[in-house]
Amino acid sequence: MSAGGEFRHIVRIAGLDVDGTLKVVHGLALIRGVGLNLARIILRTAGIDPNMRVGYLTDQNVKKIEEVLADPLKHGIPSWVLNRQRDPQTGDDLHLIGADWEFAVKSDIDFMKKIKCWRGLRHAWGLKVRGQRTRTTGRKGRTIGVARKPK
C-alpha cells in the first residue's frame, strides 16, 4: 500500500497540516473550500489512489495535488465543480481555498449588506437567509420562561 518510502505523520498540503493516518481523499476534504467530491476529482486528475494514506504521499504527489488545486480548469476539471463561478469582480470561474475563500464569502455578505438587498438585510438582522421557517426555530438570546400563576 505504501507508494512512497517513508511514512510522515503530518503532511503540509495547500497551507494546511494534514494528519498522515487519514486517507488522501479525506485529508484533502479537510481543506476549506474542498469537499469530498472535488477531492476525488483532484486525485483522479493527479493519478493518485484515493485510498492511500496521506503519510505515504511523496513530495511530487503533494506538488501535483497543489498544482491541480491552484488551477483546476487548466487540468480539465469542469467549471460546475468550482466554488466561485462567474466571480462578480472578474467574471472568471475560480476555485478558492482556505483564507481566500473565507475572505470572499465575508466580502460578498458585506457587499449585500451595503447595497441593502433582501439577503443582505436578513444577514444584518441575524435572521435566516435561505427561506427557512423562523416562527419556532433559530431563536437566539435568553429564554424568558413561563411565569407562575399567582396564588
**Are the C-beta atoms of 101 and 32 separated by less than 8 Å?**
yes
| Domain spans in the chain, listed from the N-terminal domain onward | 10-81, 98-132
* More confidently predicted of 40 and 2: 40
pLDDT > 70 fraction of the chain, expressed in percent and rounded: 94
Please give the mean pLDDT across all residues of the chain.
Answer: 88
Q: Which residues contact 89 (CB under 8 A, 6 or more apart)?
A: none
Q: Which residues contact 88 (CB under 8 A, 6 or more apart)?
A: 108, 111
pLDDT over 70 (residue 3): no
Which triple of cell numbers denotes residue 86? 462567474
**Are the C-beta atoms of 67 and 75 separated by less than 8 Å?**
yes
Q: What is the pLDDT of residue 1?
A: 47
Local structure of 131: helix, strand or coil: coil
pLDDT in tens, 5-46: 788 899 899 888 989 899 999 999 999 989 999 999 999 998
Local structure of 95: helix, strand or coil: coil
Which triple of cell numbers denotes residue 68? 491541480
Q: Which residues contact 44 (CB under 8 A, 6 or more apart)?
A: 50
Q: Which residue has the cell 505515504?
A: 56
Q: Which CATH class is domain 10-81?
A: mainly alpha
**For residues 111 and 124, what is the distance between their CA atoms, to the nearest angstrom?**
11
Q: What is the pLDDT of residue 142?
A: 63
